[in-house]
Structure 1
Amino acid sequence: MRRVVCAGLLVSLASIASANNFTNNIMITGYWPPTNNMVRDFSPNPDQNNGQWLGGNWEGRGYNIYSYFPEFPGQTGPSWGKGVGDFEVDYQKTSADWHRITDQIKPVAIITFSRAQNNFEWRLEGGNRMYAESQWTPDYQAPTRPGSDLPIMQALAPGTELFSTLPIPEIMANVGAQVPGVNPTTVPVDNGRFLSNFIGLHGNWYHELNNDPSAEYRNFAAGHIHVGFAMSPQQALDATLVTLRTLTDHLDLIGAPAPSSAAALALGGLVLTRRRRPLCGREQERVEQSSR
């Protein structure tokens, strides 16, 4: 297994943690456009972030933002298919990537994004629901439904509902006031039966498992947002930034990590390891060349 440096500084996850039992890392994910493109600047992968990760100590707020999403080369909407890379629109691969990445960055907060059918909605899901295996909508590659081998299917019974812990009213108010043309809204529970609900359920489940003060790496907030397919790239980006600012303000308010000396040393770097495919293509090429 190779060790791949994604942002230039070798640090352990322990050094990213603050003096308390939580990190300064916020994890955000995307699926179909515009949700992959609007979080692109926060990817630690130089093949996806235009060569510069902008998430380190973002806006001086003391939090590192890490994004993960698939690419859709040669594809056009409205049906983009499963894509390639992290969090492909596939139950098994989403599950595997979820556990691999959360184990690496130990997120203090999580926002999962996916595309909505409504044109300009910024829809904050109040919760997500588990379904029986046969009730999930098939994806693009066999096995096309989540099976009993997946951890979340073993942990949650059909009908289980887990709820968002994002600051929903504040996000709605701020996006509505600051991003013209975008319609923030919310519903009690996401009734969808495809990957949007599946990954949103993962976020709320992660919070459920790690929100206790005694957790090894505590999570303070998680939730899912559906993003209208017709909004412009700038609208989607602006709404993302407003949402992240609102979330970090909320974390400060409820006592999550403020900037610390340990976090400051860690900003700008993260060591990632994986078997299937390195997150940082050009960095991997340099590693391979130096080993020849």
Structure 2
Amino acid sequence: MTSIATPTVNSTWMWRGHQINYQSAGGTGAAVLLIHGFGASVGHWRKNLPVLAANCRCYAIELIGFGGSDKPTPGAEIEYTFETWAEQVVDFCREVIVTPTILGGNSIGCIVALQAAVTEPKLFIGVAMLNCSLRLLHDRKRAEMPFYRRWGAPILQSILTIPAIGKFFFQQLAQRKVVRNILLQAYHHPEAVTEELIDILMAPAADPGAADVFLKFTAYSWGPLPEDLLPQLACPAIAIWGAADPWEPIDLGRELMDVATVDRFVELPDVGHCPQDEAPELVNPLLQEWISQFEVV
């Protein structure tokens, strides 16, 4: 497979009265849409989109509430749920991509991809998951924990709903040294945590509404689980997992992905939570090979 980078184009698309930011590259081949994780943006695919576009029409979208996309008031204007984001993805594929699409996601982007593919199965022909969020703080999963571990997250979530406390917490979190330390946890190789990456993740935090979206999502403990969605998939899927992920344990991931709809589970040793950014030299060839099986419509 070629690894020649194709230039990317920045664009906007209006969805339900809100501006959505996305990037695209490539003019021929299968259509691929990449979906970022929590707090990320299209920049998290900067090492993948132009390379994949050498063989396909590749897009990366910013979910409403994240990146350069609008951040409308939670509740009053929009509900920040996986169902909402899936509807955004479905409408984007209908209106912008038009042809049946392969979805790729990282972390919570995988849940969005799965929900979209289950909601409108005729629109999607494949799903690639990179360190899929296991949603370990979901209400249903907390119910199975010992009582002394069960209440910590709900108490913190309740405290953060107090506006003054929540905003202060977000301000402390949205600092360069804090973002760097979080990334150093998520990435196995510290040299992958560059100033460019920190800039990409910090820029949207200054947007109006960013704190409200962040706090709303931290309180989101319901909705679909990957184990609910995976058996419903009507298209093939691949799972790629950085084995050094401290947040989504690979043993749980391997067990979760042991379903008929997942064709292949690929372990990446010594790679963390965001393999597409930390180890693109491993991820890009895997995705290119997997995408090559799909016929162009």
**Bigger RCO of structures 1 and 2 (CA < 8 A, at least 6 apart):** 1
More helix by percentage = 2
Fold-level similarity (TM above 0.5):
no
TM-score by length of 1: 0.34
TM-score (norm 2): 0.34
